[in-house]
Structure 1
Amino acid sequence: MKDLGQWLGSPWRRSVVAALAGALPVFAFPAPSWWWFAYVALVPWMLLVRSAPTGKRAALDGWSGGFGFLVAVHHWLLPSLTVFLFLIAALLGALWAPWGWLVRRFLGGTPGAGRVAGALCVLPSGWLMVELVRSWQGLGGPWGLLGSSQWQVPAALRLASVGGVWLLSFLVVTVNVAVTVLVAVRAARLPALAGLVATAAVGSAAWVWAPRPEVAGRARIAVVQPGVVTGADRRFAREEQLTRALAPRRLDLIVWGESSVGYDLAARPDLTRRLAALSRETGADLLVNVDAPRSDRPGVYKSSVLVGPEGLTGDRYDKMRLVPFGEYIPARSLLGWATSVGKAAGEDRRRGTEQVLMNAGHGLRIGPMICFETAFPDMSRKLAGDGAEVLVAQSSTSSFQRSWAPEQHASLAALRAAETGRAVVHATLTGDSAVYGASGRLIGSWLGTDAEQARVFEVPVATGTTPYVRFGDWPVRGALLVLAGWATAEGARALRLRRRVPAPPAPPARTVRESPVRHGR
């Protein structure tokens, strides 16, 4: 251990180790999907941080670990962002610097029962604040939230219906803190075990109490995945061919992926007529996705458009949250050169202004989202609260084939389904497409990146309101209260200590001796 401490004495060497430790949680996400690993993945990072000689060094370890975490979780963006991936990770990694300082503050040295109890509340709360800040769309959005690694665990999905992905992140970090204490601080193992028992008890109580979605019926929804097809005309023809093969089936809705139509349908009545003919043949409305300049306003939009037997129904949703660099370049006048070193957007897409509900055929109310938007819990929560019966996400991950991106993206729909108590249909151009029931459980199997087909799913239509939809992001608000309470207590403690310290004794008064006045002769 002494030799290891000396080896870590080099600041740069220690930073590299911190970055590698921070990258470990990536194995809990798809594609590996070692969900169980999430509960110990932060332990090496925290063990390193608690050994920091100073609070400043602990903050740097937190920063370095955050850098490693972000690069690992977003590594598939490297061909598109190139050097920008490391720059963004370095900037956002600084969000973990205060968290690193908190880890040393609570777990450094030999913490007693009081400090361990505080760590089990404050450290998960601090982690949640990091996730909250980086979830802002302008900073890249909530991709890779730690709680989303639990997308295939039924018990975790039940808890997501109570407090969303935020509650799962809080619980995962709590377990990591307790395991860190068990490994490193023998004298504090009892409070750490008590913390684990309390976490299990609270989680079990929430699991039992959480209401289950009530299935009121089923909808037959088809997903059309054409695969990798170059050119807007060829893609449209392939999607048309796959859709026409669905004609013998009784369907309620047919969903095409993101950018499935490369022309504004208002300016291409010929394409609209072909889509309307498909709707008549299959007996179902089509939800397509247009990626093109609009004829009624300037700019390029990505839009979910509903087409029925008579043509355009008038239901349209314009994507609101765009992918930085992928769909627009922040401060293009300064960073526009990014298009010359990566696959950054050559032209900025325009943003929509509001979410919408659509009335598909057979009385089915759907809430559309487009691609990146499935990472945002608040968007699906609003749609469910507004009355959506099924959530539909249109996506395209064709730029990231043979990477972890398609599976990471498809897994997010499971969390959104569990949070809202509404089935989610995740339809992509090139895979992975997936459908999840109202409890977040996978229906059937994924359409992988090698699939080129149309598949029909029996999708449950659920009613009722989950606690998460009703109460919102209450774990985040609770974490804010915990941190505010701790900061207030620390401030009061510092004030008491200042009052107790006796003032230094005043120096003895100096006697000024008068010198005799000499009179002139």
Structure 2
Amino acid sequence: MKRGASGVRWSVDGGDRWKRRLASRWWRGGMAVAAGALPALAFPEPSLWWLAYAALVPWLLLVRSGPTGRRALLDGWLGGAGFLLAVHHWLMPSLHVFIVVLAALLGLLWAPWGWLTHRLLHGRPGPGRVAAALVLVPAAWLMVELVRSWEYLGGPWGLLGASQWQVPAALRLASVGGVWLIGYLLVLVNVALTVLIAVPRARTVAVAGITTCAAAAGAVWAWGPVAKESGTVRIAVVQPGVIRGPLPRFERSAELTRQVVGRDVDLVVWGESSVGKDLGQRPELSRELAALSRAVHADLLVNVDARRSDRPGIYKSSVLIGPEGPTGERYDKMRLVPFGEYIPARPLLGWATSVGKAAGEDRRRGTEQVVMRLPEALRIGPLVCFESAFPDMSRSLVRDGAQVLVVQSATSTFQQSWAPEQHASLAALRAAETWRPMVHATLTGVSAVFGPHGEPVGGRMGTDASAATVYQVPLGQGTSPYVRTGPWIVYGSLAALLVYGGYEGVRALRRTSGRRLPPRP
């Protein structure tokens, strides 16, 4: 190819044009939002899982190029807002403009991450600073994920590590350090790629970082403990489909349940809000459910979304039904969906009901998790919808003896969005983390079952299905390292950041003291 003067001139002009755009407040802000949104494509429904290994690079390059730490704070904030908007875009029909407000507020959590990235990677950092960046930038990312995982800030939906739910090697890592370990390594690889592109003098350190990640994953794959299977159980999942009204939904669920008569099941699971009336006030519903239990020779796990007769308020409750009716085993949902099931600080934010489909009345919370025992001595740990996003809840149930994790969910409000696929994928991670199978039963899809390695069991029921499917579910034996030790990578990340903060503080004090010393005579 011929390279004339005009070709060089075009290249220079192009570089100058990009420099002018980066110097423009609006152009740079728009690029930060777009760069932050890019990782959302790694999650279902696009499921471009491989993109997660490089999706943060444009954002990191933009942040490190900032002229000042203050600009990096802004780039981190805007990128975080873009990420949250992209991952939660399916909430827009319900929250409308309020989702933009929430994304802008929560995006602030990434501002310190942006500042730290700029601090360590700006300019021409040496190998020492780059090595620190490989440790501390992923650590700071985990701190952002940890804080936003608080249920009152929206919960842990869209943790970066969750994008790898269908990658066997990543699921094996999840059994050692949970979704947190996957996320840490993903950010480390992104930082290393950024250094390879922009910091030639430290490429050796970047290659060492990527090699270390690969070696760690290989070691876990080759020598890490794995779940042992200990028999199977047969579980029927009932998905009635898109049906308006609690009574027609109940009747369709009952009709589908009759289809599993004679199929030798151990448990039948209905989705969230499958029963719209309190069973204490509607004894005829209890009798019908008991008759279904007798017909299929198995207990039913239904979900009641109604005002309680024995205490004030509306609860969402997993209720176990036996041949004689409710067995007394009941779990009340503890972690509610912000704005969907309650409005945080309702006196201040109650206006959200006027611009979207926010909860008109707050649901009440349960107080403790419950492990239910079936007649065959099978122990199940119920979760309700949003709660499957919280790694600590599954871990707690397994530590209390649950052999099977069961999630009752309903995403019918977001039927044509990415939400059903995203939600179902979380079950694979929770199963891999705990070495316990997870049953994800929904009203309208996607319903799915995953084994103790996080592997899919049987076929999925999509959002167009109205059916009852029986799954041969393998049971897991043993205790996974993650269940035993918890999120150790989070604790290590916090410790590393505290050490770095102490180091920088001591340096700042020394510089201040040096300036105050009187000159020597």
Give TM-score scaled by structure 2 length: 0.96
| Superposed displacement of residue 348, structure 1 | 0.9
Tell me which amino acid in the other structure corresponds to 1:35.
W
1:491 aligns with 2:501: no
1:380 counterpart (389, 394, 411): 394
2:422 counterpart (389, 408, 421): 408
1:259–1:289 CA contact under 8 A, matched in 2: yes
Question: Structure 1 CA distance, aligned partners of 2:28 and 2:241?
Answer: 45
1:222 counterpart (227, 236, 253): 236
1:43 aligns with 2:53: no
For 2:4, the equivalent position in structure 1 comes to none
For 2:139, the equivalent position in structure 1 comes to 125
Question: Structure 1 CA distance, aligned partners of 2:313 and 2:509?
Answer: 58
2:194 counterpart (180, 196, 200): 180
Summarize the alignment of residues 147-186 of structure 1 with structure 2, pairs less than 5 Å apart.
Answer: 147-186=161-200
For 1:242, the equivalent position in structure 2 comes to 256
Tell me which amino acid in the other structure corresponds to 1:415.
L
1:61 aligns with 2:75: yes
For 1:73, the equivalent position in structure 2 comes to 87
Residues 238-259 of structure 1: CA deviation (Å, up to 9, x unaligned): 0010000110200000000000
For 2:11, the equivalent position in structure 1 comes to none
- Structure with max Cα Rg: 1
Give 5+ residue unaligned stretches, structure 2. Answer: 1-14
For 2:465, the equivalent position in structure 1 comes to 451
1:205 aligns with 2:219: yes
SS at match of 1:8: helix
1:353 aligns with 2:367: yes
| Superposed displacement of residue 495, structure 1 | 3.1
The number of residue pairs the alignment matches comes to 507
Residues 141-191 of structure 1: CA deviation (Å, up to 9, x unaligned): 000000000000000000000000110110000000000001111121111
Question: Structure 1 CA distance, aligned partners of 2:279 and 2:34?
Answer: 49
Residues 350-369 of structure 1: CA deviation (Å, up to 9, x unaligned): 00000001012322100000
Question: Structure 1 CA distance, aligned partners of 2:488 and 2:212?
Answer: 19
Tell me which amino acid in the other structure corresponds to 2:334.
M
Question: Structure 2 CA distance, aligned partners of 1:18 and 1:500?
Answer: 39
Q: Which moved more, 1:444-453 or 1:316-325?
A: 444-453
Question: Structure 2 CA distance, aligned partners of 1:77 and 1:502?
Answer: 56
Question: Structure 1 CA distance, aligned partners of 2:460 and 2:516?
Answer: 70
For 1:515, the equivalent position in structure 2 comes to none
Question: Structure 2 CA distance, aligned partners of 1:307 and 1:47?
Answer: 56
Question: Structure 2 CA distance, aligned partners of 1:504 and 1:194?
Answer: 45
2:44 counterpart (3, 6, 30): 30
2:292 counterpart (255, 275, 278): 278
| Superposed displacement of residue 233, structure 1 | 0.9
For 1:517, the equivalent position in structure 2 comes to none
2:440 counterpart (410, 423, 426): 426
Q: Which moved more, 1:490-499 or 1:120-129?
A: 490-499
SS at match of 2:455: coil
1:471 aligns with 2:485: yes
For 1:518, the equivalent position in structure 2 comes to none
1:19 aligns with 2:45: no
For 1:96, the equivalent position in structure 2 comes to 110
| Superposed displacement of residue 484, structure 1 | 0.8
Summarize the alignment of residues 301-340 of structure 1 with structure 2, pairs less than 5 Å apart.
Answer: 301-340=315-354
For 2:12, the equivalent position in structure 1 comes to none
1:244–1:282 CA contact under 8 A, matched in 2: yes
For 1:105, the equivalent position in structure 2 comes to 119
For 1:84, the equivalent position in structure 2 comes to 98
Tell me which amino acid in the other structure corresponds to 2:346.
R
| Superposed displacement of residue 73, structure 1 | 0.3
1:49–1:103 CA contact under 8 A, matched in 2: yes
Question: Structure 1 CA distance, aligned partners of 2:293 and 2:500?
Answer: 59
Give 5+ residue unaligned stretches, structure 1. Answer: 509-521
SS at match of 2:23: coil
Tell me which amino acid in the other structure corresponds to 1:320.
M
Give TM-score scaled by structure 1 length: 0.96
| Superposed displacement of residue 473, structure 1 | 1.3
Residues 467-503 of structure 1: CA deviation (Å, up to 9, x unaligned): 1001011111000011011111212223334455574
| Superposed displacement of residue 333, structure 1 | 2.0
1:161–1:210 CA contact under 8 A, matched in 2: no
Summarize the alignment of residues 501-520 of structure 1 with structure 2, pairs less than 5 Å apart.
Answer: 501=515, 503=517, 505=519
SS at match of 2:439: strand
| Superposed displacement of residue 334, structure 1 | 2.4
Residues 264-298 of structure 1: CA deviation (Å, up to 9, x unaligned): 11111111111111111111100000000010000
Tell me which amino acid in the other structure corresponds to 2:253.
E
